[in-house]
Chain A
Amino acid sequence: MRASALLHSPLAALIGRRLALGLLTIFLVTVLVFVATEVLPGDAARAVLGRGANATRLAALREELHLNAPVTVRYARWLEDLATARLGHSLVNGRPVSVLIGPRVVNSSILLAVTGLIGIPLAILAGIAAALWHGRRADRYLSIVTLALAGLPEFVVGIGLIAVFATLVFHWLPPVSMVAPGASVLTKPEILVLPVTTLVLVIFPYLFRMTRATMIGVLQSEYMEMAVLKGLPRWRLVFVHALPNAIPPTIQVVALTFAYLAGGTVMIEYLFGYAGLGQGLMEAIKARDIPIIQVIVLLLATVYVLLNVAADVVTILTTPRLRGGRTWQAM
């Protein structure tokens, strides 16, 4: 297919439509966040002055931070800045938002990427293995362990790992993921081990069970029986014939997992004191620092939307039934 044809293909149209809807979603999210921060008691001026706040100082500071303007005006001003690529400054300490958030974006991305790179192949391979051993002892044990893991909240997993590997039993790993301000977590890779392990354990059960279930379904299908009867080698059966059919539902789960990781690592970052976006968001909410809250939420919402679009596209590309043309337009 030539490039121009691709541009006019139904798939491109689908992606375009999805992206447009995504933009609308992101816009609505920013409005919601602005309204939500309005509802919270107190404001940045109170956070800055603390208990030293009095009417005179509050009034002066609110004037300086433009907190007296109506919420619609402040929102419009923020949107205007954003459109001209100005992220603005923290209300509370006046530092540029980009400087405050930049290292956090990098740190969270590293956590996300390492977790994905280790967790996803591991879970899919384990799922395939369990499907092949379906009904045998190894499969049963794996299922019991993953069910138990799925039932544990992520902070319990994290606290358990800290107790065993960092504080109570062994002292092998740092219990808190501390780095110098603004530094990359890669300067001390050992601090990644526990948060990544926790997250891998959190995403593992869902992915594993999904892969295992679809793989079992595929392996029991008639065409597989046919292939077996034809005497195809086992690796070919699994990786060439079965896996491609088991992949599409798994891709959706992978995308959802990444989306969860992008937003849902707040708890893990909190637990390990990991200097990522989640921790930054909590800090900003505490201080009612609206420009920072907005930029972080915007980033997370964008990642979420893009991941969902990507998942749909990959699903379509890997599903021959959907590759036909007309069906996409209904999606």
Chain B
Amino acid sequence: MHGITRRGVLAGAVALGLGGAFGCTGRGGAAAGVPGSGRPTHGGNLRVAILGGGSADTLDANSNVTQPDAARVLSLYEPLRRVRHGGHVENLLAESMESNAQGTLWTIRLRRGVTFHNGKPLRAEDVAYTFRRVTNPQAPLLGAPELGPLDRDSFKILDDLTLQVAMHAPFAIFDEAVADNINLGIVPLGYDPRMPIGTGPFKYESFTPGEQSVFARHDGYWGKVAHLDKVTIIDSFASDTAAYNALQGGQIDVFSAAPLTIARVMRAGGPIKVHVSEATQWTPFTMRVDQPPFDHPDVRKAFRLLVDREQIIKIALNGFGVPGNDVFSRFDGAPQEFVRTRDIEQARWLLKRAGHENLTVELTTADIANGVIQSAQIFARQARDAGVTVRVRQVTPDVFFGEQFLSWPFAQDFWTLNPYLTQVALSLLPNSPYNETHWRDPAYAALVNEALATLDPTKRAMRVRELQTLDFERGGYIIPSHNQIVDLLAQNVHGVSPGTFLALGDYDFANIWLS
């Protein structure tokens, strides 16, 4: 899946979703390590603090759990294609991916001359093995839902570097879906996570869950070889403050995905540089559309009209975000057509029409990402203006993601950017693994299938726009903002790429260098 990994219990960590994005506008790279500032020097050990790790940390290419896992996986493994800043999907291990006219048969040609860390050349059988591993029906891994109708028994190896994959149903976005950098990294045939071998720019050196992991430059890398000798990922920090202190004290070089409150202070200047990502993460309020009072479309619309989005961004996100308009995947379809402004009068009128004047609801929140709890409290205050009482109930992340996860009547969640149709597969179809709004609309699902069968990107974008209209008018998400991720860097860290959906230029360590 372009999934989200659950972050650990600690505050400040952010979970990850993955996948493609289209047409990002660049605002990243503010003030920090812009590629080209000076001449890259070779060598050095980059020490990166990432919160949210723990004893459940893993190096598995297709089954990451914690926030720092994403950084590790991105160093070790590579997918067939990947999303880059600006949202375009580029080939990585694939040289080309072509489909038949129906979108039911795909041919993948692999890049020549790619070797795994153990020297074994990359072959079509490895790709087949990876897809089988992810879609294992007994234990489907995180990437399974986004591979959609892939027929895992259909693989045909045409030659060493060519694989043919059949689909159970038309799947026009297969070449987008495989671009999941953290869940669909290609592993060698017979892969064992205890021997974490991939094709990435760094290879495994050591790993202690919840403490630290070290990766060394892979000199046999097929592309541009990394500048750094080593990357050390430290996730033993018990708190934001400890990591921040370590950065100030020169014990680490980077505090990745830092809390926004610290980031705001640093932005004012000083010895620590601030790197801001594209605004792609979203932390929606989730309304269950199958239960009162949110089964009434008027109530959902009224709640969306209650929100003062600028205020939430200013206070809860310390300014690190752009307004959301209840439509996700902000670079797909026609997002500019959907604009929601606060309208208390209309909200009152809608609630009255729905017979829910003086409504009282409970909102379940937890410290699952930057600004989530604050957003809940601000929303409760804003709702009072329309006579709605929102009782905010804070639980621990364990409880939030526990047995009741995905069944809270009114709660929050967090996602990173996915291509629109991938996001729909994850959270808005009857069989979606994260259908937190309990959205089950046959007409919507039919429209989704139609879009998946549309190979022409322009025509597909029109289908997406129709779907977005439904989301905007009737959906169960309130999306107040698209949030930015902020890294704090020491002065000598350079070359951080802008990145699209994760910290540190999507943990692109290969371009980073130390002076």
Contact = CB atoms under 8 A, between A and B. Distances in A.
B251 A167 contact: no
A270 interface: yes
Given A48-B56, A273-B236, A273-B237, A176 B246 contact: yes
A40 interface: yes
Interface string A82-101: 00000000101101000000
Given A50-B6, A51-B3, A52-B5, A175 B245 contact: yes
B139 A57 contact: yes
Contacts of A282: 238
B402 A51 contact: no
Nearest to B244: A167
Nearest to A289: B55
A273 B238 CA distance: 6
A41 B401 CA distance: 10
Interface string A281-322: 011101101000000000000000000000000000000000
Nearest to B58: A93
Interface stretch (B207-215, B325-333, B334-342): B207-215
Contact of A182 (B9, B58, B208, B398): B208
A42 interface: yes
A52 B142 contact: yes
Given A52-B5, A175-B251, A287 B55 contact: yes
Interface string B130-142: 0000000011111
A313 B286 CA distance: 63
Nearest to B396: A41
A261 interface: no
Contact of B398 (A40, A54, A174, A181): A40
**Of residues A41, A178, A272, which shows the largest number of chain B Cβ atoms within 10 Å of its Cβ?**
A178
Interface in A233-284: 270-273, 275, 279, 282-284
B212 A167 contact: no
Nearest to B15: A51
A142 interface: no
A23 interface: no
Contacts of B66: 50
A111 interface: no
Contacts of A41: 396, 398-399, 402-403
Given A93-B209, A178-B246, A283-B55, A51 B239 contact: no
A46 B54 CA distance: 13
A42 B398 CA distance: 7
Interface in A139-184: 162, 166-167, 171, 174-176, 178, 180-182
Contacts of B403: 41
Contact of B211 (A50, A181, A286): A181
B248 interface: yes
Given A273-B242, A289-B55, A176 B139 contact: no
Interface string A34-71: 00000011100011111110101100100000000000
A52 B54 contact: no
B57 interface: yes
Nearest to B399: A41
Nearest to A279: B238
B251 A176 contact: yes
Contacts of B238: 270-271, 273, 279, 282
A92 B56 contact: yes
**Of residues A42, A166, A176, which shows the largest number of chain B Cβ atoms within 10 Å of its Cβ?**
A176
A50 B138 contact: no
Contacts of A171: 249-250
Nearest to A90: B55
Contacts of A174: 246, 249, 251
Nearest to B242: A273
B5 A275 contact: no
B23 to A, nearest CB: 28
Contact of B245 (A52, A56, A90, A167): A167
B234 interface: yes
**Of residues A49, A57, A275, A286, which shows the largest number of chain B Cβ atoms within 10 Å of its Cβ?**
A286
Contacts of A271: 238, 242
A176 B242 contact: yes
A175 B206 CA distance: 25
B26 interface: no
Contacts of A162: 245
Contact of A48 (B65, B139, B234): B65
Contacts of B206: 181
Given A51-B401, A289-B55, A175 B249 contact: yes
A286 B251 contact: no
Interface in B24-58: 54-58
Interface in B290-310: none
B8 interface: yes
A46 B402 contact: yes
Interface string B430-447: 000100000000000000
B269 to A, nearest CB: 16
Contacts of B245: 162, 166-167, 175-176
B217 to A, nearest CB: 19
Contacts of B243: 176
Interface of B: 3-6, 8-9, 15, 54-58, 63, 65-66, 138-142, 206, 208-212, 234, 236-239, 242-243, 245-246, 248-251, 396, 398-399, 401-403, 405, 433
Given A92-B54, A180-B212, A273-B246, 9 more contacts: A41-B396, A42-B401, A46-B398, A51-B405, A56-B138, A167-B245, A175-B245, A176-B251, A279-B236
7 tightest A-B CB contacts, nearest first: A51-B6, A181-B208, A175-B245, A50-B6, A50-B65, A181-B211, A175-B249
18 contacts: A41-B398, A46-B398, A50-B56, A50-B66, A51-B6, A51-B15, A52-B5, A52-B142, A57-B140, A90-B55, A167-B245, A175-B246, A178-B234, A181-B212, A273-B246, A282-B238, A286-B55, A287-B54
